[in-house]
């Protein structure tokens, strides 16, 4: 399994491929300035951009070179809450990122979804480590990474104005 047909289930969530009918919801939560604050896109985030993103990552295997994006769905209702991104940098380096609609912050959903993805990447897909980059001011994301066992690896200078912290989570013995 190269992570082609991924659907992860947790007690409360399903992490699954984004579908074309998710575009409106993706555009809505990505258009929230507080959600976009730590991300690399501008607001408003057009529904057309969401449709393009979903089509672009539809067949991207998890763990392969490039970006894959999966939706985070609430099992009880089928509501799309956000997404988890997986970036294959090279054959041995994988990164994870996440976005959650603001109305769903503070319930542990991101920790649950990202934790399931990290378990897949370190376990089934056998990556030696998973990386994540976070702005130093993004305390909630730093706390999430800490809860999942990530440790600070290095501070990256991304631009002259700001930098990112690079965290690493290694395979558990």
Tell me which residue of 85, 110, 88 sits closest to 96, measured CA to CA: 85
65 forms beta bridges with 88
Q: Which pLDDT does position 3 carry in this prediction?
A: 45
Q: How many CB atoms lie within 10 A of CB 81?
A: 23
- Measured distance CA(52)–CA(30) in Å, rounded: 14
Q: Which pLDDT does position 163 carry in this prediction?
A: 57
Task: Confirm whether 154 is domain-assigned.
Answer: yes
Task: Confirm whether 160 is domain-assigned.
Answer: yes
Tokens at 55, concatenated: 């089509």
pLDDT in tens, the chain (173 residues): 344 577 999 999 999 999 999 999 999 999 999 999 888 888 999 999 999 999 999 989 999 999 999 999 999 999 999 999 999 988 888 999 999 999 999 999 999 999 999 999 999 999 999 999 888 888 999 999 999 999 887 665 554 345 566 777 775 43
Look up the CATH number of the domain holding residue 94: 3.40.630.30
Task: Confirm whether 69 is domain-assigned.
Answer: yes
Task: Confirm whether 2 is domain-assigned.
Answer: no
Task: Confirm whether 129 is domain-assigned.
Answer: yes
Q: Which pLDDT does position 153 carry in this prediction?
A: 78
Q: Which pLDDT does position 157 carry in this prediction?
A: 55
Task: Confirm whether 1 is domain-assigned.
Answer: no
Q: Which pLDDT does position 94 carry in this prediction?
A: 93
Contact 90, 83 (CB under 8 A): no
């Amino acid at each position: 399994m190269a992570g082609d047909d991924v659907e992860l289930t947790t007690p409360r969530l399903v992490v699954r491929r984004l579908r074309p009918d998710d575009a409106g919801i993706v555009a809505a939560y990505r258009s929230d300035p507080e959600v976009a604050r730590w991300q690399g896109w501008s607001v408003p985030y057009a529904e057309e951009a969401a449709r393009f993103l979903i089509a672009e990552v539809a067949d991207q295997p998890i763990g392969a070179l490039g970006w894959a994006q999966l939706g985070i769905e609430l099992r009880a209702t089928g509501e799309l809450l956000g997404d988890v991104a997986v970036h294959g940098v090279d054959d041995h380096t994988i990164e994870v990122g996440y976005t959650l609609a603001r109305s769903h912050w503070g319930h542990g959903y991101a920790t649950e979804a990202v934790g399931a993805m990290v378990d897949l990447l370190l376990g089934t897909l056998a990556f030696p480590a998973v990386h994540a980059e976070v702005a130093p001011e993004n305390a909630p994301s730093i706390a999430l990474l800490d809860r999942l066992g990530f440790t600070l690896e290095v501070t990256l200078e991304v631009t002259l104005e700001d930098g990112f912290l690079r965290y690493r989570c290694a395979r558990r013995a």
